[in-house]
Structure 1
Amino acid sequence: MIISASRRTDIPARYHRWLLNRLKAGWALVQNPMNPKQITQVDLSYEAVDGLVLWTKNPLPMLGGLRELEPYPYYFQFTLTPYGRDIEPGLPDKGELIEGFIRLSEEIGRERVIWRYDPILLAPGYDWDFHLRAFERLAEKLSAHTEKCIFSFLDNYRCMAKAARELGVQYPSEDRQRGMSRELMEIAVSYGLKLETCAEPLNLAEYGIGRARCIDHLLLSKISGWPIKAGKAASQRPECGCAQSVDIGMYSSCMNRCLYCYANHSGRLLSESARLHDPQGPMLINRGFRA
């Protein structure tokens, strides 16, 4: 079993102590996002877990505790974009995050830190020329500390419709996306980076751009030193290449508060999360569960 921590919230940035406590305990309780009354106990023992995939935009709070993740095989999906606090209000300065990326890579190895330039949001102040310049600046700084970059174009999620209108978000055509992808690939190649897309319907193989497997059992096999078998994730979009995993996060709990986020569905639940979170508790956010 592969554990995803988490597509639903930024556990390394906000809830890393809870994660480390649950790994030590060997289990966690996870609420079904489609049926909140359904609570599942997930076995987090070393014998049950093939590996961990840690999703974050800010690993800085966790850097001092990485040794506690051993002996689990793990790697990071690290989203590092050029947006300001008008788009990503809960994140530290990007210079600090770049330094954090480098520190993380130096500590665990560049193959275990995957850079995500994700999503590409086009709006006034964030046009395509801005992205080309920003992507190249980041590629120059990060290429010695990672092996690949995964990108995607912003999807039109219902939960961000109001923010999209206020920002003046533009959704490029497929032809425009192809042209943009080709330009990104040219930059990536110049810095020795592999480039892949995350769950994009476009086939960009003609430019040398593959489809990502963000939950990657083959990478975890390489890290662990033994073969890990995992089928394709059945609950994800058809274009998603991820292996099957169990996500232990919760929606509407990410304090990064990125305006484009698909995972924060309720402002009320988000505001409750800090109050209801107990680092010693069995569930990430205790919304009515009674032990």
Structure 2
Amino acid sequence: MILQTGQRTDIPAFYPLWLANRIEEGYVMVRNPYQPLSVTKYLINPDVIDGIAFCSKNPRPFFPYLSVLEPYREYWHMTITLYGRDIEPNVPPYEQVLENFIFLSERIGPKAMTWRYDPIIINETYTFDVHVKRFTEMAERLKGHTDTVIVSFIDLYDKVRRNFPQAIRPPVELQRSLITELVQIAKFNHMTLKTCGEGSVFADVGADSTGCLTKEVYEQAFGVTLSLPTRQPSREECNCYLHGDIGAYDSCAHFCQYCYANTNQANVRQAMKLHNPTSPFLIGHALPQDVVKEANQQSWIVEPKPQQDSFQF
């Protein structure tokens, strides 16, 4: 199976020691976010974990613990945007995150690295032209360190509307104009531009809408052939194969205004007070009423893929 770490929070950024402890101890306990007393126990060992998927804005705090990942295949989605503290209060400057991305790429290879430039917000500060300029700079810096960039426009979920009331989704024609520009910039820097959760509306201007975390993507990143159990997508326009996330909502302290995973900052601060790096739970501990089930885990690898040469153009 594939262990997910980043759909609900940024574990490498805020809980690096906890993650290292869980990998070394060989298991993790995960509360169902909708039924809190329902707990799933996942084993963490190479016999059943075919790879670990990360989604992070700041992996650097986990760098001292990277040795615990040596027995595992890795796949990193790293979000690098142009925003300042007005929108991403606790995310490091993008120049530093670019360096982190390159460090990881040189360690595990560009096939296992994907750059996320999302969500795209267009306003008086972050104009169309500013996006084009910064995207170009970032793409040039990451050239040769990944072959994929994923973009999407801000989604106005209820939590986003509440925490970021001034946010608006750009008109469709403005979206199309920007995607057209970004596709060409990505292509010039030997990257495929994919859209996330946007359907096929931008396919005619060159965007790839096949999905972010698909079977084919995992196979390319891990260098294996996989046979995945059937799962329904999380939403109609999403083709991602998501499974076994060990994070928790309301626990990410980046405090990005567009975040769908946090209810509010007060809940996050309260949750972080309950975090203990030695606990098998990301937030809190076992409760007497908990109903614990062991996950049905097995390897999904059919066969290793032949070794390929390093990234070439």
Q: Same fold (TM over 0.5)?
A: yes
**1:203 to 2:201 alignment:** yes
Q: Distance in 1 between matches of 2:229 and 2:197?
A: 17
Q: Distance in 2 between matches of 1:146 and 1:228?
A: 22
Match of 2:305 in 1: none
- Aligned-residue offset at 1:16: 2.0
Match of 2:302 in 1: none
Match of 1:36 in 2: 36
Match of 1:62 in 2: 62
**1:188 to 2:186 alignment:** yes
SS in 1 for 2:225: coil
Uncovered stretches (5+) of structure 1, i.e. residues with no partner: none
* One of 269, 272, 278 as aligned partner of 2:270: 272
Match of 1:217 in 2: 215
SS in 1 for 2:194: strand
Q: Distance in 1 between matches of 2:224 and 2:89?
A: 41
Structure 1 residues 131-140 or 121-130, which shifts more? 121-130
- Aligned-residue offset at 1:267: 3.0
What is the CA deviation profile of residues 190-216 of structure 1, one whole-angstrom value per residue up to 9, with x for unaligned ones?
A: 211110011113432222211253334
SS in 2 for 1:48: coil
Match of 1:242 in 2: 240
SS in 1 for 2:18: helix
What is the CA deviation profile of residues 221-249 of structure 1, one whole-angstrom value per residue up to 9, with x for unaligned ones?
A: 34544322224642511121112411110
- Aligned-residue offset at 1:129: 1.4
Structure 1 residues 172-181 or 241-250, which shifts more? 172-181
What is the one-letter code of the residue matched to 2:65?
G
Q: Distance in 2 between matches of 1:27 and 1:96?
A: 32
Match of 2:143 in 1: 143
TM-score by length of 1: 0.92
* One of 245, 252, 255 as aligned partner of 2:253: 255
- Aligned-residue offset at 1:98: 1.5
Q: Distance in 1 between matches of 2:147 and 2:211?
A: 14
Distance of aligned partners of 1:285 and 1:172 in 2 relative to their CA distance in 1, 3 Å threshold: same
Structure with the larger helix share: 1
Distance of aligned partners of 1:128 and 1:100 in 2 relative to their CA distance in 1, 3 Å threshold: same
Structure 1 vs Structure 2 CA RMSD: 1.9
SS in 1 for 2:141: helix
Match of 2:297 in 1: none
Structure 1 residues 197-206 or 95-104, which shifts more? 197-206
SS in 1 for 2:37: strand
TM-score by length of 2: 0.86
Q: Distance in 1 between matches of 2:80 and 2:223?
A: 29
Distance of aligned partners of 1:4 and 1:163 in 2 relative to their CA distance in 1, 3 Å threshold: same
What is the CA deviation profile of residues 78-107 of structure 1, one whole-angstrom value per residue up to 9, with x for unaligned ones?
A: 000000011111112222112111111111
Contact 2:87/2:256 (8 A) holds in 1: yes
Distance of aligned partners of 1:271 and 1:288 in 2 relative to their CA distance in 1, 3 Å threshold: farther
Contact 1:28/1:283 (8 A) holds in 2: yes
* One of 274, 280, 283 as aligned partner of 1:282: 280
Match of 2:129 in 1: 129
- Aligned-residue offset at 1:113: 1.4
- Aligned-residue offset at 1:48: 1.5
Contact 2:149/2:192 (8 A) holds in 1: yes
Q: Distance in 1 between matches of 2:182 and 2:221?
A: 28
Q: Distance in 2 between matches of 1:223 and 1:63?
A: 20
Uncovered stretches (5+) of structure 2, i.e. residues with no partner: 291-313
SS in 2 for 1:271: helix
Distance of aligned partners of 1:149 and 1:232 in 2 relative to their CA distance in 1, 3 Å threshold: farther
Structure 1 residues 227-236 or 3-12, which shifts more? 227-236
Contact 1:120/1:153 (8 A) holds in 2: yes
Match of 1:227 in 2: 225
Contact 2:111/2:221 (8 A) holds in 1: no
Contact 1:232/1:242 (8 A) holds in 2: no
